[in-house]
Structure 1
Amino acid sequence: MTEPLIVGAMVRTIGAYPSGWRHPGAHADPQGDAAVLRRIARLGEDAGLDYLFFGDWLATGPDLEFRDPYLLARIDPVSAVLYLAGVTERIGLIATVNSTYADPYATARATASLDVLTGGRAGVNLVTGAEPRAAANHGRDAHADNPARYDRAEEFVRALRLLWESWGEGAWIADAAAGVLIDPERLRPAGFAGEHVRVEGPLNVARPPQGHLPLVHAGTSPRSRALAATEADLALIAAPDLGSAVSARTELRGLAEASGRDPDELKVVVPVLPVVAETDAAARAIVERLLLLVPIDDGGGHAGREAFPANRSLGSFLDAVGVAPDDPARVAAVDDRVPAETARRFAEAGATTLRLVQDRTGLAAGRDLTWRHLIAAHAVPAAFVVGGPAVIADHFERWRDAGAADGFNVLSAFQPAQFEAFTALAAPELRRRGLLGRSGETLRERLSLAAPRPAHAPAAVA
């Protein structure tokens, strides 16, 4: 019998699509994140999801309002999972740590504490950072280059594992009659000194129930793929289509095997942005509304705002899709309907955008499709999977059967309604098909991970 997929939720409290916060009833104020986080956690746990995943970004700025508004103000991920540890009982909790700026001892201490407090439900997503502004926020002149960041990340992983193993099996004796609390021979220092990371230890937190917390890593560079293949338990990939995902998963598994690992030890997970409703038509209507809510240059003053993206105008869209300078569309209003004859002259990029919008909204050129829809879809692309429960489950099943993914990170365009729709409508269908519903007391068990390989050298035999 085929094992259910790994299904987690990638939590973004004001929504994963840039206009999601504008949708009627959507959560839009980070001051109220606590209530939304509790709601998401309870829904995810009740639906049988395997984990909640919290990403991170170590800077902010006005440009993020239009590009990625969920990054403007967000709860620190370790704080978020510690907060949710007290309101959940079964679901895994994965927090992001940036190894370029984090301290390995403090990280090992916080994450081991989370694992102890949750009975083994903690995981760590390790990133090296892609935001240059983060350097100044951490007292540095410049963001480290790619090789230096990954050299440090590899050492960081080694230090974490050594620290997590500070308390060997059987180190805690607690023999009240004999007055012996610990076996000092089983309390081990990390004793790690690399070029970028140095830590002595031991760690002053009890041994994590999982031994080593599951490690997650995402990235596209060769060094990133190598780190995922050799050190990660979960590799996150962002693939634009099924074929790309199959290729990426095959490559990662090959790299894992070449490093001496069993490739089945590496689980490959892809993001998915389902827009879910009771019917396909209702889901398409939600996508249309999201497109109409994307801020674009429509003469209303957006273009004069700081950091407003240059690609959100009719002119920029027409340039991108190859419409001639003398075409009548050049003087159209953004809310005019798109003439079918003009759409037929689009270059490949425009034809792709047109096809995606038509598939996801049901709108057609020459009828209700406007330039605003196309400008928004081209400027703010998203890999929506749109429809009722069967459509969402079909997507999961198709990618699994093609060997494209071992699981999915579910994003919600806006909160909490879209996550509620996923858990209430799609999750039961996934469970009915055997695609959802893994078991295990710890996160390692739920992910079907083998026991961790010891980081400390085996004790010498006398």
Structure 2
Amino acid sequence: MTEPLIIGAMVRTLGAYPSGWRHPGAHRDPSADHAVLRRIAEEGEDAGLDYLFFGDWLATGPDLEFRDPYLLARIDPVSAVLFLAGLTSRIGLIATVNTTYADPYTTARSLASLDVLSGGRAGVNLVTGAEPRAAGNHGRDAHADNEGRYDRAEEFVTALRRLWDSWSEDAWVADAQRGVLIDPEGLRPADVRGDHVRVDGPLNVARPPQGQIPIVHAGTSPRSRHLAATEADLALIAAPTLADAIATRGTLRDIAAEAGRSPDDVKVIAPVLPVVAESDAEAHRIVERLLSLVPLAEGHQRDRTAFPPNRTVEAVADALGVAADDPLRAASFDAPVTAQEAARLGSAGEALIARVARIAGLGVGGDHPVTWRHLVAAHAVPAAFVVGDAPAIADHFETWRDEGAADGFNVLSAFQPAQFEAFTRLAAPELRRRGLLGRDGGTLRDRLRITSHVDA
């Protein structure tokens, strides 16, 4: 019998689509994140998801309001998973740590503590950072280059594993009659002496229940893929198409094999942004609403600080190669796209219109016409939506599994909490019925079926 997929939720309280926070009823107040996090955790655990995943970003600025509003103000990921550890009992809890700026001893200690407090449900996503403003927030003049960041990341992983292995499994004796608390031979130093990381150890936290806490990594550079394939238990990929995912998974498995690791030890996880409803038509209406709520360059928006320059009809026309003197460049956002105008947009425009038709059920002409607003929004804020009722969402998961594109998925929600609840209450039961969801295991390692790096 085929093993169920690994299915977790990538938690973004303000929603994973930039206009999601504007959707009616959506959560939009970061100071009230505790309430929505509690709700997400309860839903995810009841649905049988394998983990909740919290990303991170070590800076903020006005540009994020339009590009990625969920990054503007967010709970520290380690704090978030510690908060949820006491509110849940089964679901895994994965926090992101930036190895460029974090201290390995502090990181190992906080995650080992989480693992002890949660009964073996901790995981860590290690990143090297892509935000240059983070340097100034950590007392540095500039963000380190890619090679330097990954040199440090590799040493960071070594330090974590040695610190988590400070205590052998039988080191804690606790023999009250003999007065023997520990076996000193079972307490080991880390003794890491690298060019970027130096750690003595041992760790002053009990051995994590999982022994070695699962490590997650994502990235697209050659160094990033090498780290993911050789060290990570979960490798997160960014793959807009099925073919891209198949190729990326194959590359990661090849790198693992070349390094002497079993390719099956690398679990490849793809992102998915499902918009779920009782019917395909209702799901299309949700996407149409999301597109219509994307802020475009009109009214006061045009004068806002750091407003994106690509949210105009002219910007779309430029991208599609429309002639400079074509009058459609002056089209109103809310004017329907006519057949004559669509014909002047070329093959790229045809593909854009087809994408809007697929995700929002809109077309040129007919009862549900596509407007320039829809085209500008879909072009400026692209998203790999999977749209439809529960069987449609399950079909996507099943196809990617059967084609060898992924070992599991990180589920994003366009807005919270309604879309996450639509996934857990509509799609999750269908996934379970098909045997795609429902792994067992008392710890996160057990659920993920991790066998590598147990003894670092």
TM-score normalised by length of structure 2? 0.99
Other-structure match for 1:252: 252
Other-structure match for 1:460: none
Counterparts of 2:303 and 2:364, CA distance in 1: 30
- Classify the secondary structure of the residue corresponding to 2:95: strand
Q: Does 2:400 align with 1:399?
A: yes
1:167-212 per-position Cα deviation (integer Å, ceiling 9, x unaligned) = 1121000000000000011111101110000000110000001111
Q: Does 2:339 align with 1:340?
A: yes
What residue identity is the alignment partner of 1:286? I
Q: CA deviation at 1:451?
A: 5.4
Counterparts of 2:101 and 2:329, CA distance in 1: 48
Let me know the Cα RMSD of the aligned residues. Answer: 0.8
Count of residues in correspondence between the two structures: 454
- Classify the secondary structure of the residue corresponding to 1:301: helix
Q: CA deviation at 1:306?
A: 0.5
Counterparts of 2:31 and 2:77, CA distance in 1: 16
- Classify the secondary structure of the residue corresponding to 1:270: strand
Alignment check: 8 A CA contact 2:274 2:413 kept:
yes
Counterparts of 1:194 and 1:292, CA distance in 2: 52
1:284-330 per-position Cα deviation (integer Å, ceiling 9, x unaligned) = 000000000000013x1211110000000011111111222232312
Between the two proteins, what is the percent identity of the paired residues? 73
Alignment check: 8 A CA contact 2:126 2:216 kept:
yes
1:236-282 per-position Cα deviation (integer Å, ceiling 9, x unaligned) = 00101000000000000010011010110100000000000000000
Counterparts of 2:83 and 2:349, CA distance in 1: 45
Counterparts of 2:155 and 2:331, CA distance in 1: 57
Q: Does 2:286 align with 1:286?
A: yes
1:103-133 per-position Cα deviation (integer Å, ceiling 9, x unaligned) = 0000000000000111110000000000000
What residue identity is the alignment partner of 1:158? T
Q: Does 2:359 align with 1:360?
A: yes
Q: Which runs of 5+ in 2 are unaligned?
A: none
Other-structure match for 1:185: 185
Counterparts of 2:440 and 2:96, CA distance in 1: 24
Other-structure match for 1:174: 174
Q: Which runs of 5+ in 1 are unaligned?
A: 456-462
- Classify the secondary structure of the residue corresponding to 1:290: helix
Q: Does 2:213 align with 1:213?
A: yes
1:362-397 per-position Cα deviation (integer Å, ceiling 9, x unaligned) = 111134211000000000000000000010000000
TM-score normalised by length of structure 1? 0.97
Once structures 1 and 2 are overlaid, which stretch shifts more, 358-367 or 86-95? 358-367
Other-structure match for 2:375: 374
Counterparts of 2:28 and 2:320, CA distance in 1: 33
Alignment check: 8 A CA contact 1:320 1:350 kept:
no
Once structures 1 and 2 are overlaid, which stretch shifts more, 134-143 or 356-365? 356-365
- Classify the secondary structure of the residue corresponding to 1:334: coil
- Classify the secondary structure of the residue corresponding to 1:173: strand
Alignment check: 8 A CA contact 2:314 2:330 kept:
no
Q: Does 2:413 align with 1:417?
A: no
Alignment check: 8 A CA contact 1:124 1:214 kept:
yes
Other-structure match for 1:25: 25
Counterparts of 1:244 and 1:175, CA distance in 2: 57
Alignment check: 8 A CA contact 1:167 1:188 kept:
yes
Alignment check: 8 A CA contact 1:211 1:452 kept:
no
Other-structure match for 1:94: 94
- Classify the secondary structure of the residue corresponding to 1:286: helix
What residue identity is the alignment partner of 1:419? F
Other-structure match for 1:139: 139
What residue identity is the alignment partner of 1:238? A
Alignment check: 8 A CA contact 1:274 1:385 kept:
yes
Other-structure match for 2:444: 443
